[in-house]
Amino acid sequence: MTTVAKSTLLELWEQMLLIRHFETETERAYKAALIGGYCHLSSGQEAATVGTMHALGSDDLLITGYRCHGFALARGVAPEAVMAELFGRAGGCAHGRGGSMHLLDVERGYYGGWGIVAGQLPLATGLALALVRQGRQQCVLCELGDGAINMGAWHESLNLAAVWRLPVVFLVMNNAYGMGTSVERASAVTDLHRRAAAYDIPSLRVDGDDLLAVVEASSSLLSGARSERVPAVLELVTYRYRGHSVADPGFAYRSAEEIEEHMHRDPIQRVRALLVEEGLADAELEGVEHAAQERVAAAVEWARADPPPAVSELARGMYAPGSAAQFARMLAGAPFGERELVFAGGLGQ
Amino acid sequence: MTPAETAETPTPVSGTEVMTYREALRLALREELQRDERVFIMGEEVGVFEGAYKVTAGLLAEFGPDRVRDTPISEEGFVGAGVGAAMIGERPVVEIMTINFLLVAMDQVVNHAAKIGAMFGGEVRCPLVIRTPNGAGNQLTAQHSQSFEGWFAATPGLKVVAPANPADAKGLLKSAIRDDDPVLVVENLAIYKERGEVPLDPEHLVPIGLARVAREGADITLVAHGFATVRALHVAERLKRDHGVDAEVVDLRSLRPLDVDTVVESVTKTNRAVCIEEGWPTYGVTAELAARIQKACFDDLDAPVERVGMAEVPLPYAKGLETAAMPNEDRIAAAVLTTLGLRG
């Protein structure tokens, strides 16, 4: 069993608390209409998120689906930049263009939250292929939900990763439901990691709410990908406390008792118990929890104060710098408003 | 210039050589593979098989399997792999055997590649090239005879080019490879064998977003792209010979960005326009052209803007039916004469 130093364990617990409080505040802000669009919370999945991010090297690359607030935070993106993105503000990590589902931080090797189920898997193989071509001994962690494994992109990506020996680990966050459809109703094989056998690549299925087990399993598979170019599947069995998105109360397809039962095995409480075993005092732990709350409150305040993106930059980033000249001859007969909104809005500048 | 590019200034090469469209594409690929280590080719049968249409013939032997990478039949998988590789600095050139198969990868092109720049606020770029032929005419039937470039050109975030002759094939493909955005290069099954003068200069680039007047004329403007340009040029010669009509042909070359200025300049001069495309015109490239021409040239038009494209049916197998459905030269000529009021 992996052991992590007490100080490390405490840091990881802090991250878990940060994510939990961040998600709680996010839901509150959503209900106050400060956040719009789709918004998928990850409360209950903190051990799986923080454990894998701890195992992922700082030079390694990360790509995820849309339930990505926790991954961004655990990867070290400032809570201010994440919250501002949810608020649709200029200081958000995607400058208010992406929102909840499309967080990223290229400097931290995080190539985005993606919103089409399984769409990020082919991208992950491409990132891994580029690492190989560039002779970099790093790997890619590709997060996906249990629903994504029924998409064709799953099959094509795992096959390509195996055929080309790509350094990528596919992390299946099995939280029991793809939206409102249980794994049992969606997948012929409910031990999802067994699907990896079809591609003859290693796989593990681990209690995703056990932080140390997550660190151990992900370290092992990521290390194989990094140093031996062995792609792998890591299935983390976890549970989301909230609905699929904030619009889903989460009770149509599961019982209150079921949710309650999982909350009794809460991953944050499990790590807290370890810290108590390690001799940390309640007062100290309460202080850490209070600090996480404060951190999130500060992020909310920062996001509130951050200005929205200017309409004069509507087309920002859509095309690479220099593209404006290519589009210069496209204005004649253009649709109403195109000149003011798109051409004056930073197209290719 | 980035560090991965060759540091030395290329020696200017003058002169041209007559070659096929297919050879011009190959020349562009070879030059860019030599010029930039980040460029690699990926697709079905591009290597050992030497390309389904032989565009990549010889490149595997010259550059090896890392630069010329055969893929399984997994369009969504390897187009997406191209997108991912491009996101961290590679310059993949993905070949899709025909544009019909690109539909399998539509999600990766439209929902992923096209979104990267804007959706992430300019933090990531996707310098990806996808090459693929459209077209009909070989009795390939409904699933293999389509022209979807309008679908892609309708998508903000993508660039789409459609060269109509060997020189532009070389110059536009090279510009696409050097471009920092996802570019779809639409080729055509019938055009691969077309021959023409091609500049040998490795710096021969055709700018994206610049149309070309392929034939000057005073009486009517024919607007086309890709193989429809070849058809339009034939029709223009025939109309000159048989009817004394002097048609101008505008070859769009790029569909997004679209050089409307060149079209407008021509229509302002001729006062009449027929727009031609290989695909279905409804919601198509010619629909877009007609909308822009009527708006920009409202006071200059002497006749409604006419369109010729594929008849709006899934393409049948029987030769006679197929020919009748295509934007063949007889149909284009008839449209031109009608627009000129020369045909009852």
Answer yes or no: do B294 and A317 touch at CB < 8 A. Answer: no
The answer to which of A92-96, A341-345, B314-318 has the lowest mean pLDDT is A341-345
Indicate whether A53 pLDDT > 50: yes
What was the ipTM of the complex prediction? 0.97
Domains belonging to chain B, first-starting first, are: 20-199 (3.40.50.970), 212-339 (3.40.50.920)
Q: What is the pLDDT of residue B10?
A: 58
Q: Which among B23, B75, B248, B322 is annotated as catalytic? A: B75
Q: B250 near B224, Cβ under 8 Å?
A: yes
Shortest Cα distance from A14 to chain B (angstroms)?
28
> In chain A, which residues have their Cβ closer than 8 Å to the Cβ of B286?
none
Residues for chain A: how many in total?
A: 349
Q: B224 near B252, Cβ under 8 Å?
A: yes
User: Considering CB atoms only, which of B74, B120, B260 is closest to A333?
Assistant: B260
Q: What is the pLDDT of residue A22?
A: 98
Q: What is the pLDDT of residue A3?
A: 74
A270-A271-A273-A279 Cα dihedral, nearest 10 degrees: 170
Q: What is the pLDDT of residue B302?
A: 98
Average pLDDT per 10 consecutive residues for chain B, totaling 344 residues: 51 87 98 98 97 97 98 98 98 98 98 98 97 95 97 98 98 98 97 97 97 98 98 98 98 98 98 98 98 98 98 97 97 98 82
By the CB < 8 Å criterion, does A121 face chain B? yes
Indicate whether A19 pLDDT > 50: yes
Q: What is the pLDDT of residue B6?
A: 52
Q: What is the pLDDT of residue B3?
A: 45
Answer yes or no: do B257 and A126 touch at CB < 8 A. Answer: no
User: Considering CB atoms only, which of B82, B86, B117 is closest to A318?
Assistant: B117
Indicate whether A70 pLDDT > 70: yes
> In chain A, which residues have their Cβ closer than 8 Å to the Cβ of B76?
122, 152-153, 156
User: Among the residues of B123-259, which ranges form H helices?
Assistant: 149-153, 166-178, 227-243
Q: What is the pLDDT of residue B2?
A: 47
Query: What part of A 159-218 touches B (C-beta under 8 Å)?
Result: 159-160, 163
Q: Active site includes B76? A: no
Domains belonging to chain A, first-starting first, are: 6-313 (3.40.50.970)
Answer yes or no: do A326 and B82 touch at CB < 8 A. Answer: no
Lay out the sheet containing B91-95: strands in order across.
Answer: B68-70, B39-43, B91-95, B129-134, B183-188, B159-161, B254-256
Q: A173 near A236, Cβ under 8 Å?
A: yes
Query: What part of A 46-75 touches B (C-beta under 8 Å)?
Result: 61, 63
CB neighbours of residue A262 within 10 Å: 18
Q: Active site includes B243? A: no
Chain B contact probe: residue of A127, A142, A306 with most B CBs at under 10 A: A127
CB neighbours of residue A310 within 10 Å: 12
User: Considering CB atoms only, which of B81, B88, B261 is closest to A332?
Assistant: B261
> What is the Cα–Cα distance from A151 to B129, expressed in whole angstroms?
25
